[in-house]
Structure 1
Amino acid sequence: MHKLVAIMAMMTIWLLCHIIQVDEEIAMKHLFQGKRAVNRAAHAAAQQLDKEALGEGVLRLDEREAAAAAMQYLQTNLLLDGGGSPLPGSWLREPVEVLVLDIINSEQQFPYVYVNEAYQYEVVLQKPGVVLITGIKHPQTYRGLDPIEWTIKGTAELVAS
């Protein structure tokens, strides 16, 4: 009888460990999805040229268009509504926060060292570009893990020759 109780206890422990591992794997998958979405949004924003400045031979980003493109790509890739809240079918359960959307334009001296002390982020830009930092909360599958919140950072430069 004691062996049966020991086997049941071990199976329970094994099952709990397996559930925690599955939850961690799902969290890593969601982190990678979030990182890809942020990178795509930053890249899309960094391609929004100011056509008037380009006519004068200056490579410059249109800040309004860049911000709109970044938000559109985040909404599309993470299935969010206009306010950043998840739509049905999204893996998210809480809104995505855009913590930083900095557009570094041709007014800066390049190479430009961007430093954000608040989020411990530093990057060197060779051309005008965009820095995007978002806050994403992982929806727990099981209650085996503490809540996970990520600060996902992405940077992209203007691609032009």
Structure 2
Amino acid sequence: MYKLLLIPLLMVVWMMLHVLQLDEEMAIQTLFQGKHAVNRAAHAAAQQLDQAELASGRLVIDREAAREKAMQYLSYNLLLDSESQPIEGSLLKEKPEIMVFDIIDGDHSFPYRYSAPDYQFEVTLQGPGVIIIAQLKYPRAFTVLDPIEWNIKGVAELLAS
């Protein structure tokens, strides 16, 4: 008799562990997709040079164009609509937040040490660059554990050769 109770109980435990494993794998996939998206957005933003400054030989990033291009790349890579809300097929359920969008260009001397202590982030830039820190929230597919939040960091810089 006890075996009839033990087998269904073990099946439930096994299924719960399997669901937890699947949820963790989807969370890691979301983290990797988010990291790639932030890196691509930072690289695209860093390439938006001010053409007038470039004509005079200075590498200066056009701030408005950089922000616009970064948001375009994030939207494309994370499957977001024009208001940055996730669309069908996106691994996200909530709008990602840009916590930091900093452009370091000709106003600073290089190498420049950038620090964001609130996000435990430091980087040394050798030339003009863009720093993006985006917060993504993974809602969990199964409610076994609480939702996960990440502050994903991305940096891209221009180097004159």
> Which moves more between the two structures, 74-83 or 15-24?
74-83
Partner of 2:83: 83
Which consecutive residues of structure 2, in runs of 5 or more, have no partner in the other structure? none
**Stretch deviating more after TM superposition (68-77 or 86-95):** 86-95
Aligned to 1:34: 34
Q: How many residues align?
A: 161
For 1:3, the equivalent position in structure 2 comes to 3
Task: State the match for 2:144 in structure 1.
Answer: 144
For residues 63 and 37 of structure 2, the distance between their equivalents in structure 1, rounded to whole angstroms, comes to 20
* Structure 1 residues not aligned, in runs of 5+: none
CA contact (8 A) 1:136 1:151 kept: yes
Output aligned runs, 1:43-122, within 5 Å. Answer: 43-122=43-122
Structure-1 residue corresponding to 2:13: 13
**Percentage of matched positions with identical amino acids:** 53
4+ long deviations beyond 3 Å: none
What secondary structure, in the 3-state scheme, does the structure 2 residue paired with 1:106 have? Answer: coil
Matched AA of 2:83: G
Please say if 1:155 is aligned against 2:155: yes
Secondary structure of the corresponding residue to residue 65 of structure 2: helix
Higher mean displacement: 69-78 or 1-10? 1-10
Is the CA contact (8 Å cut-off) linking 2:45 and 2:67 kept in structure 1?
yes
SS of the equivalent of 2:119 reads coil
Alpha-carbon distance between aligned partners in 2 of 1:137 and 1:51, rounded to the nearest angstrom = 37
- Secondary structure of 2:118 counterpart: coil
Shift in Å at residue 135 of structure 1? 0.7
Q: Secondary structure at the match of 1:102?
A: strand
Q: SS of the residue aligned with 2:155?
A: strand
Check conservation: 1:48, 1:66, Cα contact below 8 A. Answer: yes
**What TM-score does the superposition give when structure 2 sets the normalisation length?**
0.96
Q: Specify the SS of the correspondent of 1:135.
A: strand
Deviation per residue, 1:95-125 (Å, 9 max, x gap): 1101110000111110000001111110000
TM-score under structure 1 normalisation?
A: 0.96
